[in-house]
Amino acid sequence: MIDFNDSIAAIATPPGRGGIAIVRISGPDALKVASLITTPPGASARPIKARTAYFRKFYDGPEEIDEGVVLYFAAPHSYTGEDVVELQGHGGNVVPQRVLSAVLKIAGVRQAEPGEFTRRAFLNGKMDLTAAEAVEDLISAGSESAAKAALASLSGAFASRLETLSAKLTQFRVRLEACLDFPEEHEDFFDSGRAATELESLEALTRQALTIAGQGVRLNEGARIVLAGQPNAGKSSLLNALAGSERAIVTNIPGTTRDVLTINIEIGGIPVTITDTAGIRDRPSDEIEAIGIERALNELKQADLVLLMIDSSKPAAEAREALAHIQKLFDHPKNLMVVKSKIDLAPNAETAELLTQEPWSHLPQIATSTKTEHGLDLLRQQLNEVLGLIPSEGVFSARRRHVFELNECAAALTRAQEMLELGDLVLTARELTLAQDHLGTITGKVTSDDILGIIFSTFCIGK
């Protein structure tokens, strides 16, 4: 079991060459550590005042190991809410580790667990769980839009929306409990229809928060786009065009791409992972290509959007075979877009006719040429629209667990409306309690040590 009452230390800056490295200490012994580390044997310790920068030498026993700035933040006015000390010395791979090692030799100080500084900030009431998770989201943001959304959550945008919803839910529950205790009040609020109207409003607010949270998850995780199609259909060329560099090998030899190739780019400020896969065909040339095709099919199952590449200059049989492989995976393919490639070449009349028929005619289609760059800007625009990635004002960062809890909250409110319509106020009250518990799980007002352990285990050690 982790003891959150002791003192912890860790390097708070990335490893490697750099001008500065920070060793952070938090806990009741933080100030004592600062005094011991900056005082040579036999010398008197010099005072260290809060929020004052001092230039000091750092010692490991009698040995001088570094020098730098010492900062002390007294509880509760610190990131963790505890006494916090930062030793800001020289960067690199060796010196910061020597300073940390000297700190950890002091009795009562141990190595921090991943995310433990932020976890202590949460436990000490410095932030709620949505803000704590936003810290990690801000650090790992893959785009400007994701960083803005994380900062919005860190500033309390997500928590504020949940608090408003929870407050309205609490008010409703108070009136419901009063009606259960004093039945004579029942007719005034519930039989008048106002209760049903307010429950509908609460569910609408929940689903609005759910929609924005879904956008936040997409901003955090990005979208997964997979390029699929027959060998030599132009997948690798399109990947290179979207990446703006030669990331994939392009030749006229079918089956050049043998394995999945993934790149991370931004489209409209949104992080997107694009995967180029081996060309899918019924008769692979060898065992290696067969393995590549199997991996390609696995990637397709996880995609948010599949770009089915159809070489507009090739016979229609190839297009039929490519779509047949997609339909083997999905009975009714969703998030499927047809990209007609190589339109700078003479079109195949049979293929052109095929793409106007069912089921092709109901799929979005874009004509492109990576050689002339025709259609690439339109493709980027369509990717935003099809994936629903266009950011709107008020987006905050969120995680899948938030979406799950908001879904459960909305479902409980739906059941509450059903119970209210049946006239069972006891079960209505029960469903409202469940709805509020799901909201509390998001902010951390209702949680467990196991959930906290999972959440903070994804953080870096120094945060």
CA of 178: how far to CAs of 109, 175, 182, in Å? 52, 5, 6
In this structure, what is the dihedral angle of CA atoms 420, 422, 425, 430, given to the nearest 10 degrees? -80
Average pLDDT value for residue range 52-71: 95
What is the 8-class DSSP label of residue 183?
G
What is the average pLDDT value for the chain, to the nearest integer?
A: 81
Give the residue extent of every domain in the chain.
7-127, 144-218+397-444, 223-387
Give the pLDDT confidence score for residue 154 in this predicted structure: 77
pLDDT in tens, 145-184: 777 777 878 778 888 888 889 889 888 888 887 777 766 6
Higher-pLDDT residue of 374, 243? 374
Average pLDDT value for residue range 232-248: 71
Distance CA 110, CA 197 (A): 55
Tell me which architecture the domain covering 144-218+397-444 has in CATH: Up-down Bundle (1.20)
Give the pLDDT confidence score for residue 109 in this predicted structure: 94
Which range of 169-183, 224-238, 250-264, 432-446 scores highest in mean pLDDT? It is 432-446
* pLDDT exceeds cutoff 80 at 445: no
Name residues whose C-beta falls within 8 Å of residue 47's C-beta, 6 or more positions apart in sequence: none
Average pLDDT value for residue range 74-85: 94
pLDDT above 90 coverage of the chain, percent:
27
pLDDT in tens, 304-344: 788 888 888 888 888 888 788 777 766 555 678 888 888 88
* CATH code for the domain defined by 223-387: 3.40.50.300
pLDDT band at 287 (very low <50, low <70, confident <90, very high): low
Give the pLDDT confidence score for residue 289 in this predicted structure: 54
Q: Do residues 345 and 312 make contact, with C-beta atoms less than 8 angstroms apart?
A: yes
Q: CB atoms < 10 A from the CB of 35, how many?
A: 17
Q: Where are the beta strands (DSSP E) in 83-162?
A: 84-90, 109-111
Give the pLDDT confidence score for residue 255 in this predicted structure: 42
Q: CB atoms < 10 A from the CB of 121, how many?
A: 22
Helix, strand or coil, per DSSP, at residue 264: strand
* pLDDT exceeds cutoff 60 at 286: no
Three-state DSSP string of 344-393: CCCCCHHHHHHCCCCCHHHCCEEECECCCCECHHHHHHHHHHHHCCCCCC
Distance CA 357, CA 337 (A): 15
Average pLDDT value for residue range 443-450: 66
Q: Looking at this protein, which amino acid is placed at residue 241?
A: A
Give the pLDDT confidence score for residue 258 in this predicted structure: 39
Listing DSSP states for 12-69 in one string gives -S-SSS-SEEEEEEESTTHHHHHHHHTS-TTSPPPP--TT--EEEEEEETTEEEEEEE
Q: Do residues 42 and 52 make contact, with C-beta atoms less than 8 angstroms apart?
A: no
Give the pLDDT confidence score for residue 454 in this predicted structure: 63
pTM over 0.75: no
Q: Do residues 439 and 409 make contact, with C-beta atoms less than 8 angstroms apart?
A: yes
Q: Any idea how long the chain is? A: 463
Q: Among the residues of 302-348, which ranges form H helices?
A: 316-329
Average pLDDT value for residue range 218-241: 79
Which token pair is 191? 């039989």
Higher-pLDDT residue of 17, 333? 17
Average pLDDT value for residue range 191-203: 83
pLDDT band at 29 (very low <50, low <70, confident <90, very high): very high
Distance CA 98, CA 357 (A): 70
CATH class of 7-127: alpha beta
Higher-pLDDT residue of 76, 381? 76
Which token pair is 236? 């690798």
* pLDDT exceeds cutoff 50 at 249: no
Name residues whose C-beta falls within 8 Å of residue 187's C-beta, 6 or more positions apart in sequence: none
Higher-pLDDT residue of 335, 85? 85
Q: Do residues 269 and 391 make contact, with C-beta atoms less than 8 angstroms apart?
A: yes
Average pLDDT value for residue range 259-272: 70
What is the 8-class DSSP label of residue 279?
P
Give the pLDDT confidence score for residue 57 in this predicted structure: 95
